[in-house]
A and B are shown apart, each in its own frame.
Chain A
Amino acid sequence: MRLSVQTDPFDLGAESNAFAAAQTVAGAVVTFTGLVRDNGGTLAAMEIEHYPGMTERAIRAIMDQAVARWSLEDALVIHRHGRLVAQEPIMMVATAARHRADAFAAAEFLMDYLKSRAPFWKKEIGADGAEWVAAKDADEVALTRW
């Protein structure tokens, strides 16, 4: 299980390959990657702030839950902070399980919890100023299915 909270970009292909290559008994690997979205075509940059210490602690707790609940063989979370531009990868999740249903479910669970329980805050920097991204009610509702 690996967690990295970093400012540097990551290589999605290299990370996915290394994660899959490290498996010994898993028959399924699921990966998800989140990109910086430019909703209105006016995004100059996205700044991601986080709470050092709590971020790692919160994500590890979420990963521990996922591993236990879906009997995962392995899990990976990479989440960036700092200044990013449109279409750059922000974060990725990978899960490995014996069968795909567990790998898919655990990846969705990790994403739902990372959205609203890991202490990151996004700020969109546009031509006309900067605005903090508001949390969506739907993100909170998504947690109730778990």
Chain B
Amino acid sequence: MIDVLYFAWVRERIGLPRERLETSAVTVAAFVEELRAREERYEAAFADLSSLRVALDQELADFDAPLAGVREVAFFPPMTGG
């Protein structure tokens, strides 16, 4: 099981801030494909990966990063702090 977190418009499109999911995906990209296949709202949120960022266990990562051993994955748009 993996904790999946969504922020900003990703959270709004999917309709929840976090969930626990079962996955056998090897990479983040493969996991995203699983999510997109779930429901239309996931497809809408993950339609354009170039407008998304991902963090694995609270560290920024790439979509081709491996998922092995990761407890928490978060998806969000580019950050707008400051």
A119 sits at the interface (CB 8 A): yes
Are B58 and A132 in contact, CB atoms less than 8 angstroms apart? no
A103 sits at the interface (CB 8 A): no
State A58–B58 Cα separation when bound (angstroms): 8
Are A133 and B81 in contact, CB atoms less than 8 angstroms apart? no
- Which residues does chain A contribute within 8 Å of B9, judged by CB atoms? 132
A97 sits at the interface (CB 8 A): no
- Which residues does chain B contribute within 8 Å of A123, judged by CB atoms? 8
User: By the criterion of a CB under 8 Å from any partner CB, how many residues of chain B are at the interface?
Assistant: 16
User: By the criterion of a CB under 8 Å from any partner CB, how many residues of chain A are at the interface?
Assistant: 26
B79 sits at the interface (CB 8 A): yes
Encoded as 1 (CB less than 8 Å from any A CB) or 0, chain B from 7 to 22 comes to 1110000000000000
Q: Which residue of A lies closest to B5 (CB)?
A: A51
B76 sits at the interface (CB 8 A): yes
State A51–B81 Cα separation when bound (angstroms): 11
State A42–B64 Cα separation when bound (angstroms): 41
Q: Give the most central of B8, B60, B81, B82: most A CB within 10 Å.
A: B81
State A119–B7 Cα separation when bound (angstroms): 9
CB within 8 Å for A119 and B55 given contacts A54-B74, A132-B9, A132-B77 = yes
A16 sits at the interface (CB 8 A): no
CB within 8 Å for A115 and B8 given contacts A51-B55, A53-B58, A57-B58 = no
B24 sits at the interface (CB 8 A): no
A75 sits at the interface (CB 8 A): no
For residue A54, give the distance in angstroms from its CB to the closest CB of chain B.
4
For residue A90, give the distance in angstroms from its CB to the closest CB of chain B.
8
A51-B5, A114-B81 known; 15 new pairs, CB 8 Å cut-off, are A54-B59, A57-B58, A58-B60, A91-B82, A111-B82, A116-B81, A117-B81, A118-B82, A119-B55, A120-B82, A121-B7, A132-B8, A132-B9, A135-B77, A135-B78
Instruction: List residues of chain B with CB under 8 Å of any chain A CB.
Output: 5, 7-9, 55, 58-60, 74, 76-82
Nearest 3 pairs of A and B residues by beta carbon = A135-B78, A120-B81, A54-B58
